[in-house]
């Protein structure tokens, strides 16, 4: 099994980066909430659990490796530079889900649908977090803990994170295989939001019982995702490749929606006007809506509203996006609505994209 080094940073640049940033941090034990006994116990806990999980996940890992190798014959693993405790650079391992050399093309950008379209299997690995399994090696090496802020690429830190208030607090602890903010927010969550979530957890007293709870909860969440997405993937592959029921042209999964309201605003308007409509489903680029309102091919602004039930009251989550009619159809057999539209949309800001991913596309892991 071979490794691909997609760090896009040479050894001299890595060393220069470490020297430039190392002076801002102190030794572990003085800047974290670890007591000496807890710190030692967590190290032992990490090693024992990592070894156990390595043995338990070995059959799954071998199967993933075979499929990756068979797909394109390229390297099985990805190895990329990340910032660890005290901003010390280490190399993090993952199962490769992108084409060889993709990281060099992406550079200091976050991975999006427009950067690269990954295969169905690669998307399955990323959605279920199975591509993260090789980071058990990083835990055994002492680069990472099971629980902690997810490690960040040096180029992403320099471009997007350096000026975020208190972002550097994460470098007082080891990064984690399971990140607090990554567990409860989608990939598109703004860095400032994720930083606030991580910082809230970093200052808590560290206890093995808490780590164990998060690990068990994450394993249950991952197993559920594997079962749900695995069944869908199996049915899809059977229908396409064996039953030959249809040719798969749709790249993105459509999420069915219920109880959502769409408000409409013309691009030159100042107020949203409620549409007599119902969203049927949505993916990363399009949503399908039944409506009694006549829409032309002009660009609009849409406000999507999701109802989120809380303990005492229902909260409304709003996301604003621009959009235009991609396809339209007259409904002949629907007694409630006259028109069907497929709207190609784009969130007006990263925060609105975060709301769409979290509350409409259900991209949060938990």
C-alpha span between 71 and 93 (Å, rounded): 19
Helix H or strand E segment including 315: strand 314-330
Domain definitions of the chain by residue range: 3-236, 255-359
C-alpha span between 291 and 149 (Å, rounded): 44
The tens place of each residue's pLDDT in the chain, 366 residues long, gives 445 544 445 556 556 655 555 544 433 333 345 566 667 788 888 999 999 999 999 999 999 999 999 987 889 999 999 999 999 999 999 999 887 666 655 555 555 555 556 778 888 898 888 999 999 999 999 999 999 999 999 999 999 899 998 899 999 889 999 988 888 888 878 888 888 888 888 877 777 888 888 899 998 988 888 888 888 878 877 777 777 765 555 556 778 777 677 887 766 566 778 888 888 899 999 999 999 988 887 888 999 988 777 667 778 888 999 999 999 999 988 889 999 999 999 999 888 998 999 888 888 876
CATH top class, domain 255-359: mainly beta
Q: Which two tokens stand for residue 54?
A: 């390595």
Taking phi first (over 0 means left), then psi (-120 to 50 degrees means alpha), and beta for anything else, what does residue 259 get?
left
Q: pTM for the whole thing? A: 0.76
C-alpha span between 4 and 6 (Å, rounded): 6
Among candidate residues 65, 57, 128, the one with its CA nearest the CA of residue 95? 65
């Amino acid at each position: 099994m071979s490794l691909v080094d997609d760090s896009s940073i040479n050894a001299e640049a890595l060393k220069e980066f470490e020297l430039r940033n190392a002076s801002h941090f102190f030794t572990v034990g003085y800047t974290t909430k670890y007591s000496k006994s807890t710190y030692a116990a967590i190290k032992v806990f990490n090693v024992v659990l990592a070894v156990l999980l390595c043995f338990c996940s070995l059959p799954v890992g071998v199967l993933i490796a075979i499929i990756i190798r068979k797909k394109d014959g390229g390297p099985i693993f990805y190895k990329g530079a990340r910032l660890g405790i005290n901003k010390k650079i280490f190399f993090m391992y993952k199962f490769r889900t992108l084409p060889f050399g993709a990281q060099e093309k992406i550079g200091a950008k976050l991975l999006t649908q427009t950067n690269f379209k990954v295969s169905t299997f690669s998307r399955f690995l990323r959605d279920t977090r199975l591509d993260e399994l090789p980071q058990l090696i990083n835990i055994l090496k002492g680069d990472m803990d099971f629980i902690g802020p997810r490690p960040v690429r040096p180029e992403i830190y320099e471009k997007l994170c350096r000026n975020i208030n208190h972002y550097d607090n994460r470098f007082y602890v080891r990064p984690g295989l399971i990140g607090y903010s990554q567990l409860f927010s989608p990939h598109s969550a703004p860095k400032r939001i994720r930083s606030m979530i991580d910082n809230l957890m970093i200052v808590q007293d560290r206890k093995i019982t808490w780590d164990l709870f998060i690990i068990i909860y994450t394993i249950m969440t991952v197993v559920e995702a594997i079962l749900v997405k695995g069944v869908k993937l199996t049915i899809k592959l059977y229908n396409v490749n064996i039953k030959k029921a249809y040719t798969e042209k749709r790249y993105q999964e459509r999420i069915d929606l219920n109880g959502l309201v769409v408000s409409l605003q013309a691009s030159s308007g100042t107020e949203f006007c409620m549409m007599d409509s119902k969203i049927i489903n949505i993916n990363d680029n399009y949503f399908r809506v039944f409506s009694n309102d006549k829409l032309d091919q002009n660009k609009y602004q849409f406000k999507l509203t999701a109802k989120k039930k809380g303990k005492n009251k229902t909260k409304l989550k709003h996301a604003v996006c621009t959009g235009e009619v991609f396809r339209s159809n007259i409904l002949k057999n629907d007694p409630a609505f006259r028109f069907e539209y497929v709207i190609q949309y784009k969130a007006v800001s990263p925060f609105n994209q975060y709301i769409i991913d979290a509350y409409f596309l259900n991209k949060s892991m938990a």
